[in-house]
Structure formats: structure tokens, C-alpha cells
Amino acid sequence: PASAAAPALPAPPAPSAEAVSRPAALLPHDLSPWGMFMAADIVVKVVMSGLALASVITWTIWLVKVLELTTANRQVRRALHTLRESSNLLGSARALPPRGGASARLIQSALGELEASRALPAEGIKERVAISLNRIEAAAGRRMSLGTGLLATIGSTAPFIGLFGTVWGIMNSFIGISKAQTTNLAVVAPGIAEALLATAIGLVAAIPAVIIYNVFARAISNYKASLSDASAEVMRHLSRDLDREASGANRLRAAAE
């Protein structure tokens, strides 16, 4: 014959069941946030759990501080109204409830010092009362600021903690890619998504913490200013009461002479 028939090429071997199922085995069954959390590395899980706890702490502080500031501002407004309507310090103290917060402690401290210094010069009484009121204001401000430092810490560190979890997760993903010897996006994407979830949780924890911290910083400053107004009203009543006593003593002395 003029030409011989070309030899038939052997058919390529069919992929084994193990090779077919290997990429699918690398994929997680659930790509929801909870599923990605459960499929993540232990270090990434610890980072996510810590950030979730930080978010819970942030909202707990928010709830506690809202209630505390609301109550304290109401007490200060009531004390200011009472001080401005009363004619003397003792009348203001009787009009306020015993547990009236820092503003009531201002009045009680002034009355206590006035009672303890009856026969002493007025200037010394005013000086000691001013010192006492200043300490009460400082203590109330420190108490009201409790917890806000934790908000600032969460707001500044949570994104970096989440970034650490992301870097660690992506590093493990690349190690898994090298072991699987494939660059198939279906194999690469789930591990990277799990890693990026740590950064997302870090931002969810940090953004509310920063906003709440700024809101509370302004609210606490306003509370301190209102407390200073109440302190000034106490000093005004104290000065008037001392002058009234001095004037009455002078009239009695003049009548005796």
C-alpha cells in the first residue's frame, strides 16, 4: 500500500476519584460568618473571639454610661434649680433628697464645714469649703470617666488586632495553596475570606467604640461644667449666709453698746 494507517494514540488516563474530590474537600461546607469562623485557624478564632468580646464590652459600657449620665445630669439640674430658688444654703439642703448625687454632697459638705467652723473667720471658712467642693467635683469627674479609657483602647487597637488575624489567616492560606499545588480560585478564596473576616470584626468593634468615646467625652465635659455651676451656687449661698451672720452679730453688738 502507498501509505500505512497512522497508529492510534492511547487515550489519556481518567482522573482518579481522589484527584477529582481533592479540590472539593478543600472547600468549607458553609461560607456564612459562623461557618468561616468554625473553619478558621485556632489563632484566628482567638482573635475573632477577643474582638467579639471587645464589642460586647463596648455596648455594655455604652448602656451603663447612658444610664449613669442621665441620672447624674438630672440630679445636677434639680440641684441647680433648688439652689437658685432658695434663699439660703440650709433651705437648699432640706429641699434636696439625701441621695442627690455629687450636687447634694456639695451642699452637705459646705454645711458641715460651716457647722464645724462657727466661731472662726469667714475667709477661712470660704477657703476650706472651696477646697472641699473642688475635691468633690474631681472625684465625681473621675467616677464618671470610668470605662471611657477602655473604649479608647478598644477603638485604637481593635483594627490592628483584626489585621493580625487577617495576616495570620492569609499566611496559612498560602501554605495550604502550596501543599495543594493548585491556584484554583475556588480553593484559594475561602481561606482568604476567613482571614478577612477578622479585619471586618475588628472594624465592627473599633468604629462604635470610637464614636461612643467621643460622645461620652463631650457629655462628661458638660456634666463637669454643670457641677461647677452648682459649686459656684453653693459658694454664693455660703458667702451670703456668712455675711448675714456677720451683719446680725454687728447689730447685736451695736445694740448692746
Give dist(CA 141, CA 61) in Å, integer: 16
The H or E element that residue 41 is part of is none
Q: Look at the pTM and tell me if it is higher than 0.85.
A: no
Give dist(CA 147, CA 196) in Å, integer: 29
- Class of residue 52 by CB neighbours under 10 A (exposed 0-12, middle 13-18, buried 19+): middle
CA 228 to chain centre: 24
Identify the sign of the CA torsion 189, 193, 199, 204: positive
Give dist(CA 215, CA 219) in Å, integer: 6
The H or E element that residue 183 is part of is none
The pLDDT of residue 249: 54
Range of the domain at 156: 31-95+118-250
Q: Is residue 111 part of a domain?
A: no
Q: Is residue 155 part of a domain?
A: yes
The pLDDT of residue 216: 95
Q: Is residue 255 part of a domain?
A: no
| Alpha-carbon distances of 178 from 38, 173, 241, rounded to whole Å | 22, 9, 85
Among 35, 39, 62, 44, residue whose Cα is nearest residue 161: 44
Among 130, 135, 132, residue whose Cα is nearest residue 235: 130
Comparison of pLDDT for 76 and 101, the residue scoring more: 76
C-alpha cell at 169: 489567616
pLDDT digit string, tens, across residues 37-69: 676 678 888 888 999 999 999 999 999 999 999
Q: Is residue 8 part of a domain?
A: no
Q: Which of 69-78, 86-95, 187-196 has the lowest mean pLDDT?
A: 187-196
The pLDDT of residue 239: 87
Instruction: Enumerate helices (H) and strands (E) in the chain, giving the number of each.
Output: 8, 0
Total structural domains in the chain? Answer: 1
Q: Is residue 109 part of a domain?
A: no
Q: Is the pLDDT of residue 251 over 70?
A: no
Rg over CA atoms, the chain: 36
Comparison of pLDDT for 237 and 22, the residue scoring more: 237
| Alpha-carbon distances of 237 from 84, 87, 243, rounded to whole Å | 9, 8, 10
| The residue to which cell 464645714 is assigned | 113
The pLDDT of residue 207: 95
Q: Is the pLDDT of residue 9 over 70?
A: no
Q: Is the pLDDT of residue 139 over 90?
A: yes
255 conformational bin, left if phi > 0, alpha if psi -120 to 50, beta if neither: alpha
Give dist(CA 80, CA 227) in Å, integer: 9
